[in-house]
Amino acid sequence: MDPMILKAVLLGIIEGLTEYLPVSSTGHLLLAEHFLGLNFEDATLDKTFTVLVQLGSILALVLVYIKKLLQILLSAGHDKHARNFIFGVLIAFLPAALVGALLHGFIKGVLFNPLIVCIALIAGGFILLLVDELPLERKHHDATRFPLSMAFKIGILQCIAMIPGVSRSGATIVGAMILGADKRAAAEFSFFLAIPTMVGAFAYDLMKSYKDLTLTGTGLIAVGFIAAFFSGLIVVTSLLRYVSRHGFALFAWWRIIIGAAGLAGLLVFG
């Protein structure tokens, strides 16, 4: 297999497996590129690939939830709860959309840094362990019934995930749990919020960089997209069942181990 295609496949698998877990897909992609050499010769393609390949994970999520999403959309005209859910997701999406548009250059140019990723992974791991064990009130058990004010607060917390290594799903899950959601509902709302957030990031990055994409680069992104779709499908269909039974401790320790290993690697290899 061509080495560039193999890299695209591996990065796509990493993206799909980590996008909906609270471990930071962007952080894992950056560390894989830095330490394993899974990067492309074109620096622009490296940064663009990380965002555009997420579309595969998005489509995997939509495929799993297509029936539920269609029911909500079709009933919005006469069902108050369906309308509130749609408004809630849009309200939660807006803060990240605004911050992402304003700070796009700073995020890509400064924060896409292995050291920042490692520190964020470790800090987020300890926060996830703490929140997972806190005796929080669990008063929200349905992700489609979150109050609008709660959805907006989750959206504010999602902005922290602009820092690579924090994890978009981690920030939204922790935020929802602190605000009273149970673990399953928190993870499911994070799924729904991912759709407009990731589609928005995809569209914005494509608009910014499409002129720089070559035929080869587009082909590599397509390969990564397919790999991300199938690996994302595995995670989406199994994550809710797992967290309902076991919580987030496994992912928290994974973050801490990967972050610590990354810091050690930076100290030794630079």
Segment 96-120 mean pLDDT: 87
Q: What is the pLDDT of residue 94?
A: 94
What proportion of the chain, given as a percentage, has pLDDT over 90? 56
Contact 161, 171 (CB under 8 A): yes
Q: What is the pLDDT of residue 46?
A: 63
In the chain, where the domains are located: 3-269
d(CA 239, CA 244): 8
Residue 66, pLDDT above cutoff 70: yes
Q: What is the pLDDT of residue 157?
A: 94
> Mind listing the pLDDT tens digit for each residue in 180-239?
999 999 999 999 999 998 888 778 777 776 666 666 677 888 888 899 999 999 999 998
Q: What is the pLDDT of residue 210?
A: 64
Q: What is the pLDDT of residue 43?
A: 59
Q: What is the pLDDT of residue 40?
A: 65
Residues 6+ apart with CB under 8 A from 244: 183, 184
Q: At 108, is the pLDDT very low, low, confident or very high (cuts 50, 70, 90)? A: confident
pTM of the model: 0.86
d(CA 197, CA 215): 27
Residue 242, pLDDT above cutoff 70: yes
Over the Cα atoms of the chain, what is R_g? Answer: 18
> Mind listing the pLDDT tens digit for each residue in 154-178?
999 999 999 999 999 999 999 999 9
